[in-house]
A and B are shown apart, each in its own frame.
Chain A
Amino acid sequence: GQQVMQIPQYQHVQEGEDFTTYCNSSTTLSNIQWYKQRPGGHPVFLIQLVKSGEVKKQKRLTFQFGEAKKNSSLHITATQTTDVGTYFCAGLSGSARQLTFGSGTQLTVLP
């Protein structure tokens, strides 16, 4: 079955440093979604990428979808303590409705 790997599993950064998490799928994706889960909370939808090579920005967050539609990345510029949480990518492939979630990257931002 489809697998979505995400690295790194954990990342500690000093406030103001940049952060990147990478997502790789074993199969070609029709779209990829990114979610953020704060400690003790539930996943919150951030963005969806559909097109090959697509790049989207949300303030300090930059999302990319690979040319082959099998990988994606999330980059945060100048992290803030409010960025703390676990970031999950989740992919859709074929005609399935079910998302396959990556393993997540837990971000800690040190003040």
Chain B
Amino acid sequence: GAVVSQHPSWVICKSGTSVKIECRSLDFQATTMFWYRQFPKQSLMLMATSNEGSKATYEQGVEKDKFLINHASLTLSTLTVTSAHPEDSSFYICSGSGTERSQPQHFGDGTRLSIL
């Protein structure tokens, strides 16, 4: 099946640091990539949708200057959490999907971000 690689798996850093998370589709071209945030025992909350070569579309309430998304190729999307603070600590998960709208999403392993 389709594989999405996400790293790093864990990040622990000081408040004020910027953190970059990479998401790669290994065996398919991810026309669209999605970035989610998940708090403990809660559902996945969509943060933004990115299409290769264009600006990401952010969900309401998500600061685009805080969460920078780049989707430079059909196999790579990155999320940078700028000047992270403790309230940004969460589980961030990316997923990739092909050209068909109804195709299932293939998720990366997620990144656990802890800001001290």
Contact = CB atoms under 8 A, between A and B. Distances in A.
A103 B43 contact: yes
B105 interface: yes
Interface residues on B, range: 20 to 34
Interface residues on A, range: 20 to 34
A97 interface: yes
Interface string A78-111: 0000000000100010011111111110100000
A90 to B, nearest CB: 8
B101 A97 contact: yes
Interface of B: 32, 34, 41-46, 49, 93, 95, 97, 101-102, 104-110
Interface of A: 30-31, 33, 35, 41-45, 48, 50, 88, 92, 95-104, 106
28 contacts: A30-B102, A31-B102, A35-B107, A41-B109, A42-B107, A42-B108, A42-B109, A42-B110, A43-B44, A43-B93, A44-B107, A45-B105, A45-B106, A50-B102, A92-B102, A95-B101, A98-B49, A99-B34, A99-B46, A99-B105, A101-B43, A101-B44, A101-B46, A102-B43, A103-B42, A104-B42, A104-B43, A106-B41
